[in-house]
Amino acid sequence: MLVSVRDTDWAGVRLHVVTGKGGTGKTTVAAALALALASNGKPVLLMEVEGRQGIAQLFDVPPLPYEERRVAVAPAADGRPGGDVFALAVDPQSALIEYLEMFYNLRQAGRALTRFGVMDFATTIAPGLSDVLLTGKAAEATRRKVKGSPVYGAVVMDAPPTGRISRFLNVSSEVSGLAKVGPIRSHADTVQKVIRSGQTAVHFVTLLEEMPVQETLDGIADLKEIGRGGIQAGAIIVNMMRQGWSELDDGTDAARDTQELEVALKAVGLGDDPKLAVDLAAELADETRTERTQSARRRQLDKAGQPVYELPLISDGIDLAALYRLAEALREQGAA
């Protein structure tokens, strides 16, 4: 029997890295994307690397230990039950202990190093080492197999912000001064193979504001320039879109609007205050200006040549129902 394959923009991508300017909604969008991908039926791992416990807060569960925990079940889709979403908060120290154990059976040594504060020392003098451990964990989860089949259908990383993402992902060059040969080097090379392959895509979350848009465009350019074929840029996700802004007509004219408003206000019995129509017309003109600038920014984003998805501003706050809504919006637009 033929199994129908869903037509998505990211066939073959298994590691989804979500970045963006601070506060634009990276954590929220990463979680929504994880739910969207898990709707395909397979479990998905949602990882955070900044030690802020943003995922636990979002899903309203206790702080995540260094252990993969189920936090949600994706909505059913295409007549198939949704897969589980697991979450993991990765920190460099736990990743190093795990790494030492995996490669050298050295859990005890890792523990001792932690006890004597060596781990802080190692990860502080060599920030590249801490990055390679975090991206290494993502690569490991992406490649992990049981009886020949992948454990996770996809891995989604709530990654550092745009300003740090290229450096964070470009771990191979970061550790080169640190370890030219040996296990850390070859570990870094394996991680780079995953990150620079078609299996990885870096998505950018933005708002239609000047700085986040500029950072998105710069970030996409940086990924291409990273060398050795670059790292694949993914989608641009315009978050917190106000509904209906694009429907407002372009030809707003304050004088005409004031007249029309005066008539309309009289008709509903609010015609006594002459200032009201003027104020409302000014507000409308202001809105229109903002909307024009936003359309221009939207066109700038389109020119980057990546798929662009839009997510609505959800006014009553982000709970699981809101995340489901955002996940569905991402699926409809081709993200999963």
CB under 5 to 8 A by kind: which of Mg ion, ligand ATP, none does 274 bind?
A: none
Distances (CA, A) of 287 to 244, 246, 261: 12, 11, 16
Distance CA 157, CA 33 (A): 10
Q: Report the nearest approach of ligand ATP to the CB of residue 66 (Å).
A: 20
| Residues 37-56, mask of contacts with Mg ion (x by CB under 5 A) | -----------------x--
Which of positions 53-72 make contact with Mg ion (CB under 5 A)?
A: 54
Rounded to a whole number of angstroms, the minimum distance from the CB of residue 30 to ligand ATP is: 8
Residue 270 interface partner, choices ligand ATP, Mg ion, none, CB cut-off 5-8 Å depending on type: none
Cβ closest to ligand ATP, residue 178 vs residue 314? 314
Per partner kind, with CB cut-offs from 5 to 8 A, the member of Mg ion, ligand ATP, none near residue 25 is ligand ATP
**CB of 21 or CB of 26, closer to Mg ion:** 26
- To ligand ATP, the closest distance from the beta carbon of 175 in angstroms equals 25
Q: For residue 27, state whether it binds Mg ion (rule: CB under 5 A).
A: yes
How long, in residues, is the chain?
336
Q: Which CA distances in Å does 177 have to 85, 129, 139, 184, 191? A: 37, 11, 22, 11, 17
Rule CB under 6 A: which residues touch ligand ATP? 20, 22-28, 54, 161, 239-240, 311, 313-314, 318
Q: Which entry of ligand ATP, Mg ion, none binds 118, CB below 5 to 8 A by partner kind?
A: none
Q: How far is the CB of 213 from ligand ATP (least distance, A)?
A: 15
Instruction: Answer for the pair 330, 309: CB distance below 8 angstroms, yes or no.
Output: yes
Query: What does 325 interact with, of ligand ATP, Mg ion, none (CB < 5 to 8 A by kind)?
Result: none
By the criterion CB under 5 A, which residues form the site for Mg ion? 26-27, 54
